[in-house]
Amino acid sequence: MAVSQGETADFQVHTVDSTFLDQIAHWPATGPAPLGWLPASGGARTQVIAPGDTLELTIWDSNENSLLSAPGQRQVQIQSLTVAPDGTVFVPYVGDTRVSGMTLQVAREHLQDAIDAIVASAQVQLSMAEGRTNSVDLVGGVGNPGAYPLPDRNYTVLNLIAAGGGVQPALVNPQIRLRRSGRIYGTSVARLYADPGLDTLLHGGDQVIVEQDPRQFLSLGAAGQQSHHRFPQDRVTALDAMAIIGGVDSRRADPGGILILREYPDSALRTDGTGPALPRVVFTLDLTSADGLFSARNFDIHAGDLVLVTESPITSAQTIFGLIGSVFGVANQTANLAN
């Protein structure tokens, strides 16, 4: 429920209680827009040839007068056959042959049939080195970043992270960012670990970035710590925030006067109660009451929020107006310095 405000106030004040939680659940979110993620699916358990891959062809021929081999030679190696953008490779005496989209076994049989028309007794062996379109990049946040070939079409994000030495333990709430075909998908490592259905398959050319959660909130006033705090988990509630900042200073703080200051973009403003009426909003929490504690447990902190622990009881909206004064400005200056 909103607290009455003075005519000159340029912010709203709302008391966070069980009634208000139902209302704010419909408000627009602040901070970076959430990224979608791709569900897991199945793929072939063998590698598939793609443009950019390099093939090595070995042809075994026991004929004395072979078209392919010199006298006394029993094998011919044709190296560095790069698969062209149209999916073909050039094989001497055979010409351009399409191999893209085939497994190594199918491609070997295809080339065997083509060479049989020239040297009926020849046997073909085929190997491959993966190119850019059959490998993925693992960037930052792991023990061994780099380019990794796709061993088959069932290679997943977690397989890649394991191959890269695992996530660095120092990262706070590490995040996965998957870049594919000009789009970015994202989720947290914790969510990926918890739900196997999210361990999506990788495609050749994908770029996987592991980084710590960039979201932060600020604490000021009679808090245990006055600092910027990273989000240690995907969801941080007001009660979580109090634990993160080290609680309140028992000598000075008023647990009944916890303020959370938040700024909304103009696009989030509403006049029908489904969003804030003003861009600057102050949420008040009373941790001395059961309803206040339960409500704090269900009130989400957003990136960029300021948690202000007051030193004196908050008894009226006018007191809040006098207290806030230039706090929004202080918070903005502190955020700018942090950046």
Is residue 324 one of the residues assigned to a domain? yes
Is residue 48 one of the residues assigned to a domain? no
Q: Are 289 and 327 contained in the same domain?
A: yes
Tell me the pLDDT tens digit for each residue of 319-331. Answer: 555 555 545 554 4
45/41 Cα distance (integer angstroms)? 12
Q: Are 293 and 224 contained in the same domain?
A: yes
Q: Are 126 and 141 contained in the same domain?
A: no
- The 10 Å CB-count burial string (b at 16+, else e) for 204-222 is bbbebbbebbebbbbbbbb
278/151 Cα distance (integer angstroms)? 54
Cα-flanking dihedrals φ and ψ of residue 191, to 5°? Answer: -65, -35
Closest CA to 104 of 47, 43, 44: 47
| CA distance to 167, 171, 172, 198, 260, per residue, from 213 (Å) | 13, 8, 6, 19, 21
337/246 Cα distance (integer angstroms)? 23
**Residue after which a domain boundary falls, among 182, 211, 240:** 211
Q: Are 227 and 329 contained in the same domain?
A: yes
Q: Are 125 and 162 contained in the same domain?
A: no
**CB neighbourhood size of 191 (10 A):** 14
Is residue 36 one of the residues assigned to a domain? no
**CATH number (domain holding residue 65):** 3.30.1950.10
Tell me the pLDDT tens digit for each residue of 44-95. Answer: 566 788 888 888 888 887 766 666 666 666 778 888 888 998 989 998 888 8
User: pLDDT-based confidence at 334, cuts 50/70/90?
Assistant: very low
Tell me the pLDDT tens digit for each residue of 108-124. Answer: 898 888 888 877 778 88
- pLDDT at 177 exceeding the cut of 50: yes
Q: Are 218 and 301 contained in the same domain?
A: yes
145: amino acid identity, one letter: P
Domains: count for the chain: 3
Is residue 47 one of the residues assigned to a domain? no
Mean predicted confidence (pLDDT) in 191-215? 93
Identify the pLDDT of residue 275. Answer: 92
Supply the pTM of this predicted model.
0.71
**Residue after which a domain boundary falls, among 211, 231, 266:** 211
Bridge-based pairing state of the strands 258-263 and 123-129: unpaired
**Residue after which a domain boundary falls, among 102, 130, 158:** 130
Is residue 42 one of the residues assigned to a domain? no
Mean predicted confidence (pLDDT) in 92-107? 87
Residue span of the structural domain in which 230 resides: 2-30+214-338
Is residue 201 one of the residues assigned to a domain? yes
Q: Are 265 and 319 contained in the same domain?
A: yes
Q: Are 198 and 304 contained in the same domain?
A: no
Identify the pLDDT of residue 202. Answer: 92
Identify the pLDDT of residue 7. Answer: 44
Q: Are 219 and 191 contained in the same domain?
A: no
Identify the pLDDT of residue 72. Answer: 61
Identify the pLDDT of residue 169. Answer: 94
